[in-house]
Structure 1
């Protein structure tokens, strides 16, 4: 089977610019930003959200009311999760992944065939349905992109307090026993990275392939590649592929703050400015995306119209200088060492080769850049080298940095572009050109909606250690 025999038949979005395909598409094409004042967000509890932002002197400080995030506004997990008691063992990322998956399955028209049922005589041959018209349990699977999941600091506050001796010194040897007394036995289930795929497999009664990939921002794209592998090998007929992430969690920031945060600007909606000459950091975001993958013949047999077709992909890792040296940092100096332009170039060229295509055939490229000037520079160098003329789409402008969901959000933006035959605008396009003495290459961006001249979109995503993935989609 060729990659081009695999199609996307459903998508689901849970984002700061909308929940569901219709809302997401409208906001993306209008350039409506999800970046707002923190107090305008209906996000997680305030004590679990980091309100640090880069100030004029470059320090990270609490700035209270001026903090901005790209959090979810119109999301209520109770509308999606059944049974509702399951919410007790679901952190934010699990809830959003579940919801995005539900939306994708509904969008693909698979509800009539679910939940899956065991086959009297399991077979790898089509048709892949039972006598009652349900999908055979072993022919449907889930592949989710995830990351380390963190709880709010207050969940461990009592256990911590009990571990402080009479002199006010924290004793680590006491923390284990204290935690056993103060933390519910089911606490760990809320934060296992494989639980999003676990919960949704149970809902589907899916007995096919099940995997969770925790490779940072590229997790969603990596999950798509993994799912394509299952379809290529004939061990499944339907794959639900999702990814979720958040950068609003305070505990996470205490351990993994290796990228700079943006200076708040006026208007606040322009605070997330990837590839801008004055970009100095990212905006914290959250969200989840999901899609349904299947073979083209399976989709045709059930009358499903594909949203996009997978033409090719490539995953490459070339360690960044910071990764090689172990110098994890959030500096914005040009030599900070985050990211690998070489890895991005290799992934883009590899995807073109896999799809047997030339660069000039690509109508648009969905960038991963989120406003970190160091990582943005790596992406810009790769774009200039491989796809210098392709129109550039920058979803993080509206969504902020969504962690492990970043790559999936790019894939969903690519599907929107192909379905509408339009290239979404970049509101700060005027700042993505060489100006003010800044030595940067101009990108093919516009603050206006443009037609997609060639129905081929490349989606790129990459990480600060040096992992890059490129996926090519067509209508």
Structure 2
């Protein structure tokens, strides 16, 4: 099977710029930003958002840089999750991943075939491609999908609970001298934390919950490689289709950077200084960019073979024609010196990994750089990581138009790569290249060997209907996926 035989037939979006394909598309093409002041967020924003304060005249004062976020506004998990009691064991990321997956399944028109039904292998009805779709391999005689022919691959990362959930256990571990005694914390936690607490924060639980809903007994996997998790999940799913161990794959990824516990343990990127207007605070590749804006969201895709989609009358949104995943450790990763410093030699990211991934995807698609109609960049405003991406683009695809979803969505963690894939799907469906609102700030840095990015604050036509989507991480993992219309 060729990579081009794999198609995307459904997409689902849960983001700060809209829930569902229509809302997401309108905002993306309209350059509508989801970046707002925290106090302007609707009640759906995470209650555990990380904010920082400084002391002035003995009173706490909110640090403005952390009060600007790209949180969800019109999202209510109760509209998507069934049974609702399952919400008790779902963290924020599990809820959004479930919703995005459900939207993707509906968008693909798979709902009539679900939930999947089990059947013994010897009971399978094997028919030629000329016969009705409901009698094709992968479907039962009742027009349902065989349960072992549908699977899930989700991009995830470490999931963190709010600090208050552990506050009683922590307080109970303080000794008579007022000092925290770590040796007592285990017993204290057993007394104060609900037995089901852990189920809310296992990285594989998003895929678990949705597999149960589908009655999916096919491949089930969770990929945890940071910001590149979504694209890596798609690559994994393509492998299952190539090996013909499944006919349908639900691929999803979710993430949030609005969590106080996460920020306390894993913060190695700087936060953006607020600008006027606030909606322009997330400024990837801007010459004055100094950090990222915390965001959250989730995205989902339905992958299947082109012949299966044709048999059930589904029109593909995009074809997957090439991909590659590479890891070349960044200097900071190799030395163990993680820092949020924005000095050029801070060592985050790997230009070599990004270049290798792009070239690998081009080779897999049997394409040249000039065949690419647009590139969906991963940059989120960290000047160190953005510089790695710029150098890679200049090296391999210097003239392609560049789109930067993070300028509207902020940094969405493990959902970042998936958001890029969704943006590419929008471009291929509409034939339009979304604007970059702060394009005037994305100029060359003035050095003799610098090359300006091909960005614009206006909508442009996607003349060559081939889109390259890149994602990469601070430690040095990079993916590249090429989609075509």
Q: TM-score, normalising length from structure 1? A: 0.96
Structure 1 residue 51: deviation in Å? 1.8
Change (3 A) 1:64 1:433: closer
Q: Deviations over 1:256-306 (max 9, x none)?
A: 000000001110000000000000000000000000000000000000000
CA-based RMSD of the aligned residues comes to: 1.7
1:307 to 317, 321, 342: 317
- Which secondary structure state, in structure 2, belongs to the residue aligned with residue 11 of structure 1? strand
User: 1:168 maps to which residue?
Assistant: 178
2:392 to 374, 382, 399: 382
Q: TM-score, normalising length from structure 2? A: 0.94
- Which secondary structure state, in structure 2, belongs to the residue aligned with residue 469 of structure 1? strand
d(CA) in 1 for partners of 2:386 and 2:408? 16
Cα pair 2:402 2:454 within 8 Å, conserved = yes
Matches within 5 A, 1:444-459: 444-459=454-469
1:359 to 341, 362, 369: 369
User: 1:6 maps to which residue?
Assistant: 6
1:393 to 393, 396, 403: 403
Cα pair 1:143 1:210 within 8 Å, conserved = yes
User: 1:326 maps to which residue?
Assistant: 336
- Which secondary structure state, in structure 2, belongs to the residue aligned with residue 285 of structure 1? strand
Structure 1 residue 440: deviation in Å? 4.6
Runs of 4+ with >4 A deviation: 43-47, 122-126, 435-440
2:213 to 180, 190, 203: 203
User: 1:127 maps to which residue?
Assistant: 137
User: 1:142 maps to which residue?
Assistant: 152
Would you say how many aligned residue pairs link Structure 1 and Structure 2? 469
User: 1:286 maps to which residue?
Assistant: 296
Matches within 5 A, 1:431-446: 431-434=441-444, 440-446=450-456
Matches within 5 A, 1:63-462: 63=63, 67-121=67-121, 123=124, 126-434=136-444, 440-462=450-472
Structure 1 residue 438: deviation in Å? 11
d(CA) in 1 for partners of 2:250 and 2:53? 36
Structure 2 unaligned spans of 5+: 55-60, 127-135
Cα pair 1:277 1:438 within 8 Å, conserved = no
- Answer with 393-402 or 63-72: which moved more: 63-72
User: 1:465 maps to which residue?
Assistant: 475
d(CA) in 1 for partners of 2:140 and 2:374? 41
Q: Deviations over 1:164-199 (max 9, x none)?
A: 011110001111111111100000000000000000
User: 1:58 maps to which residue?
Assistant: none
d(CA) in 2 for partners of 1:325 and 1:238? 42
Structure 1 residue 162: deviation in Å? 0.4
Cα pair 2:287 2:445 within 8 Å, conserved = yes
- Which secondary structure state, in structure 2, belongs to the residue aligned with residue 178 of structure 1? helix
Change (3 A) 1:65 1:276: closer
d(CA) in 2 for partners of 1:17 and 1:67? 18
d(CA) in 1 for partners of 2:435 and 2:452? 16
